[in-house]
């Protein structure tokens, strides 16, 4: 079921990305290079960047789900294109990475957005595909999904945020197992051992489950959700709890929350013993 998008007009994008609105307040982005296992191209990356910038600025959209067309979520970088770039002569790859503040696929190091991102992983994710997933807020994976960070087998490194994120989530030893061996792990291991998958479901239910979770998030105050996510992002930037609390309370999301109609509605609905009716947050 796709809702009436009304006045929603996404920015122009190529056929390498599909955009849909399966529920009210929910955007679905689908990587659409199935014959190439959704390996990331510069065009895809630019499309995702433009669409997420628009999503962040659109008050009526509260959650985004990201998935891949075909049998693989994302096979990582287009290594054939990368090899061609290397053949063109030396380049400062490190500086390129530092300047690309949003990371792989415009998601793996994205910290500007306080709106939730859910990954719906069909089939598997490799390299940059895993880096991208590790920066999503929730991850739903198919039972047959596999994950790998095989960069060491290709003579490169997982430089787009995966190393520190995986070490924080799984711990040093388990992170080393993925990063230094470069071997595949199952969806079950990703959920129960490594801790970066929230739920494993049959392949036919991956996207529908992710969309259902997005819809459930939308039953909560969007102001509260976005303020809460900002606090989690700040936790990755500050080592001290009090520093996080201070930065969180000074954040644009928290200032908006405590001045919002939604905080009034939530408290009023509780006292009146009814469900709250949330409204779109004010633009930040």
pLDDT tens digits along 208-221: 999 999 999 999 99
Active site residues: 131, 151
125: phi then psi, degrees, rounded to nearest 5 = -145, 140
251/153 same-domain check: no
pLDDT tens digits along 94-134: 777 788 889 999 999 999 999 999 999 999 999 999 999 99
134/250 same-domain check: no
List the domain range (segments joined by +) for residue 142. Answer: 17-217
* N-to-C CA span, the chain: 30
139/40 same-domain check: yes
176/234 same-domain check: no
Final residue in a domain of this structure, among 172, 198, 217? 217
Distance between CA atoms of 58 and 61, rounded to whole angstroms? 6
Q: Which residue has the higher pLDDT, 94 or 39?
A: 39
Question: Domain holding 25: CATH number?
Answer: 3.90.226.10
Exposed/middle/buried for 50, CB within 10 Å: 0-12, 13-18, 19+? middle
Could you tell me which of 142, 146, 121 has the C-alpha nearest to residue 132? 121
Q: Which residues pair with 172 in a beta bridge?
A: none
pLDDT tens digits along 2-16: 555 667 999 999 999
Distance between CA atoms of 118 and 28, rounded to whole angstroms? 9
């Amino acid at each position: 079921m796709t809702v009436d998008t009304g006045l929603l007009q996404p920015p122009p994008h190529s056929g390498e990305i599909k955009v849909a609105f399966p529920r009210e307040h929910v955007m679905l982005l689908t990587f659409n290079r199935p014959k190439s296992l959704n390996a990331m191209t510069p065009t895809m990356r630019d499309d995702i960047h433009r669409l997420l910038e628009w999503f962040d600025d659109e008050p009526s959209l509260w959650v985004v789900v990201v998935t891949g067309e075909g049998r693989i979520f994302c096979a990582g970088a287009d290594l054939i294109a990368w090899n061609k770039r290397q053949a063109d002569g030396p380049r400062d790859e490190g500086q390129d990475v530092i300047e690309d503040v949003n990371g792989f696929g415009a998601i793996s190091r994205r910290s500007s957005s306080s709106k939730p991102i859910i990954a719906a992983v069909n089939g598997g994710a490799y390299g940059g595909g895993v880096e991208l997933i590790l920066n999503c807020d929730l991850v739903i994976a198919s039972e047959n999904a596999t994950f790998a960070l095989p960069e060491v087998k290709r003579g490169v490194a997982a430089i787009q945020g995966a190393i520190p994120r995986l070490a924080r989530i799984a711990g040093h030893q388990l992170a080393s197992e993925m990063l230094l061996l470069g071997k595949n792990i199952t969806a079950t291991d990703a959920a129960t051992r490594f801790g970066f998958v929230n739920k494993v479901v049959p392949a036919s239910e991956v996207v529908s489950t992710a969309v259902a979770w997005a819809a459930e998030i939308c039953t909560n105050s969007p102001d509260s959700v976005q303020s809460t996510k900002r606090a989690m992002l700040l936790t990755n930037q500050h080592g001290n709890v009090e520093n996080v609390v201070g930065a969180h309370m000074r954040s644009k999301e928290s200032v908006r929350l405590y001045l919002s109609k939604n905080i009034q509605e939530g408290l009023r609905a509780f006292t009146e013993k009814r469900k709250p009716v949330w409204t779109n947050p004010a633009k930040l």
